[in-house]
């Protein structure tokens, strides 16, 4: 293609603090509509906002994690517009003096390369209520439970050049907010939301083209598809000698469609919020915050590869969210080797979580117990297959039981009797002289057949790995 894609993302993260950002009621999701709304959030005359310190802390931690400069002093602004989900008639947000600026992230792309994306600013603001268009046949209903929940908006520089980079950026932000524990980053429930600004320009051209903002991207893959679509649409316009209109569009699942003309900053009549004083952050407070940051997914990723020799695929899965990464590290503390722990985490554990549709936090098995199970397999007391496919599911159903007791009850222990093992092998070889002959003539694929026969004869008591080793020796 003769055109390059230029993208900047605006990502909103809902802060899962106890209270809202300027009002005392609880932050909830999926509760009875309008059950968590105070006079403040409804904009009643005479009420005043009170800033929630926990939201400042969350925004500052995010700023630090994204390598931003944190402002030692900042203030809030009013963004004025009329919309039913905004009962005050204005949103308290930040404009001239955001809490953080000039950060950066380094994306890891599938081909192993890195790509830098600058962070222009991070601002703290309040969420709006929600318009419900599908609950009543005639009217739009309003739920204000969301109104006033703390939001941070992370605005990237227009440094993104492909849909893959955009998706990697969004996944990166999601991992970071999850590691910091400031939000669950759930896009379906709207705790993480993304708008994409996209323009195109001829290769080699320095100036940016006219940008279009796409709203309503409610998954990472939707972001990729919408950019792909919008890129083609803009290129087709330019190729036809037409201009791209500056506008806001929405992604409907298959295409982008016009939503409204883009409003400009002037339309909002921004001015400093008179009901909130400017905020000053002390150097000591920031320093304490900096020191209290957890190990971030990027650092952990590097360590998983550099120190433990894991593959990039394994490391990526293990750094997806913090509880998952912590469980993996708990297995290591129990003495499980990194590669073995990774294969259990990204194998049976992950499959179980997916099937049960539960997050890691709800995984019933303590790491100490899974480590015992893994040791049974590693010491060849139980075969790996039996450990993964039989013992593991039973233990998950019975999380307080001793792995060895269950293995006993299910009769999974392998025979440790060498003479017995030799006898089973000898029997099988004696039964199939023709196949032994064929094997010796070079059809070594038959080894699997012999192993299967011995395991069957043993009633599952022979360790397949040991049988294979001995057979290969004998038949050589």
Which residues contact ligand ADP by CB under 6 A? 6-10, 155-158, 197-199, 208, 211
Report strand pairing: 150-156 vs 3-14. Answer: antiparallel
Is the Cβ of residue 10 or residue 85 nearer to Mg ion in the bound state? 10
Q: What's phi and psi for 2, nearest 5 deg? A: -80, -5
- DSSP 8-state class, residue 266: G
C-alpha span between 257 and 219 (Å, rounded): 18
| Residue closer to ligand ADP, measured from CB, 156 or 346 | 156
**β-bridge partners, 226:** none
Q: Please give the Cα distance from 432 to 40 (Å, whole number).
A: 84
Which residue's CB is nearer to Mg ion, number 10 or number 427?
10
Look up residue 100 and give its two tokens: 């953080």
Nearer to Mg ion among residue 10 and residue 247 (C-beta): 10
Nearer to Mg ion among residue 10 and residue 67 (C-beta): 10
Smallest distance, Mg ion to C-beta of residue 270, A? 12
User: With respect to Mg ion, which residue has the nearer C-beta, 25 or 95?
Assistant: 95
Task: Report H helices in 193-271.
Answer: 220-239
CB of 351 to ligand ADP, least distance (A): 38
- State the minimum distance, in angstroms, from the CB of residue 316 to ligand ADP: 25
Residue 406 binds what, of ligand ADP, Mg ion, none (CB under 5 to 8 Å, by partner type)?
none
- Give the shortest CB-155-to-Mg ion separation in angstroms: 6
Stretch that binds Mg ion, among 5-13, 111-119, 180-188, 291-299 (CB under 5 A): 5-13
Identify which range of 6-14, 120-128, 182-190, 305-313 contacts Mg ion by CB under 5 A: 6-14
Cβ count within 10 A of residue 255 = 13
Residue nearest to Mg ion (CB): 10
Choose between 165 and 199: whose C-beta lies nearer to ligand ADP.
199
Q: What is the DSSP letter of 117?
A: E
Q: What are phi and psi of 432, to 5 degrees?
A: -130, 60
Residue 114, both tokens: 């890195």
Q: How far is the CB of 367 from ligand ADP (least distance, A)?
A: 41
Strand ranges, E, within 40-136: 69-70, 73-74, 77-80, 90-93, 100-108, 114-126, 130-132
How many residues make contact with Mg ion (CB under 5 A)? 1
Tokens of 166: 């955009």
For the chain, the C-alpha Rg in angstroms (whole number) is 29
Say which residue the tokens 């006993």 belong to: 408
Exposed/middle/buried for residue 306 (C-beta within 10 Å: 0-12, 13-18, 19+): exposed
In the bound state with ligand ADP, the residue whose beta carbon lies nearer, of 125 and 184, is: 125
Residue 234 CB, shortest distance to Mg ion, in Å, is 20
310 touches 331 (CB < 8 A)? no
Contacted by 341, from ligand ADP, Mg ion, none: CB < 5 to 8 Å by type: none
Choose among ligand ADP, Mg ion, none what residue 66 binds, the Cβ cut-off being 5 to 8 Å by kind. none
Q: Which does 158 bind (CB under 5 to 8 A by kind): ligand ADP, Mg ion, none?
A: ligand ADP
| Least separation in angstroms between CB 300 and ligand ADP | 27
Binding mask 157-176 for Mg ion (x = CB under 5 A): --------------------
CB–CB of 258/249 below 8 Å?
yes
Q: How far is the CB of 158 from ligand ADP (least distance, A)?
A: 4
**Paired tokens of 69:** 């400069």
Residues 9-28 interacting with Mg ion (rule: CB under 5 A): 10
Where do runs of H (alpha helix) occur along 257-349? 283-291, 297-306, 312-318, 322-333, 338-344
CB of 151 to Mg ion, least distance (A): 12
Nearest residue to ligand ADP by CB is: 8
Would you say 17 or 197 has its CB closer to ligand ADP? 197
Which spans of this chain sit near Mg ion (rule: CB under 5 A)?
A: 10
């Amino acid at each position: 293609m003769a055109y390059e894609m230029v993208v900047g993302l605006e990502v909103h993260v809902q802060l899962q603090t106890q209270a809202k950002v300027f009002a005392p009621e609880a932050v909830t999701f999926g509760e009875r509509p309008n059950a968590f709304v105070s006079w403040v959030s409804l904009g009643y005359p005479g009420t005043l906002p009170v800033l929630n310190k926990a939201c400042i802390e969350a925004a500052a931690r995010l700023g630090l994690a994204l390598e931003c400069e944190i402002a030692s002093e900042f203030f809030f602004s009013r963004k004025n517009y009329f919309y039913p989900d905004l009962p005050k008639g204005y949103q308290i947000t930040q404009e001239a003096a955001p809490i953080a600026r000039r950060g950066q992230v380094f994306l890891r792309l599938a081909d192993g390369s890195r790509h830098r994306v600058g962070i222009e600013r991070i601002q703290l603001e309040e969420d709006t209520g929600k318009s419900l268009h599908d609950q009543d046949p005639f009217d739009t209903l309003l739920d204000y439970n969301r109104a006033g929940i703390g939001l941070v908006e992370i605005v990237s520089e227009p440094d993104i050049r492909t849909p893959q980079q955009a998706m990697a950026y969004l996944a990166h932000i999601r991992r970071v907010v999850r590691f910091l524990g400031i939000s669950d980053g759930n896009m379906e429930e709207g705790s993480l939301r993304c708008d994409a600004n996209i323009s195109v320009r001829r290769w080699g051209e320095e100036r940016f083209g006219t940008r279009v903002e796409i709203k309503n991207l409610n998954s990472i893959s939707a972001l990729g598809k919408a950019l792909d679509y919008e890129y083609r649409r803009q290129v087709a316009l330019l190729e036809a000698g037409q201009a791209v209109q500056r506008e806001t569009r929405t992604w409907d699942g298959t295409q982008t469609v016009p939503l409204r003309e883009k409003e400009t900053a002037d339309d909002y009549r921004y001015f400093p919020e008179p009901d909130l004083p400017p905020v000053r952050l002390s150097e000591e407070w920031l320093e304490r915050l900096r020191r209290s940051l957890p190990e971030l997914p990027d650092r952990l990723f590097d360590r998983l590869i550099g120190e433990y020799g894991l593959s990039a695929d394994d490391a990526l899965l293990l750094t997806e969210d913090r509880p998952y990464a912590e469980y993996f590290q708990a297995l290591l503390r129990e003495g499980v080797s990194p590669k073995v722990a990774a294969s259990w985490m990204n194998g049976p554990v992950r499959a179980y979580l997916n099937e049960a549709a539960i997050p890691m936090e709800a995984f019933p098995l303590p790491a100490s117990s899974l480590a015992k199970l893994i040791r049974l397999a590693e010491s060849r007391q139980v075969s790996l297959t039996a450990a993964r496919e039989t013992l593991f599911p039973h233990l998950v159903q019975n999380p307080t039981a001793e792995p060895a007791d269950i293995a006993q009850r299910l009769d999974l222990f392998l025979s440790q009797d060498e003479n017995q093992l030799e006898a089973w092998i000898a029997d099988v070889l004696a039964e199939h002289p023709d196949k032994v002959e064929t094997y010796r003539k070079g059809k070594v694929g038959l080894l699997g057949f012999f192993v299967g026969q011995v395991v069957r004869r043993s009633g599952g008591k022979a360790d397949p790995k040991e049988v294979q080793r001995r057979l290969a020796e004998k038949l050589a």
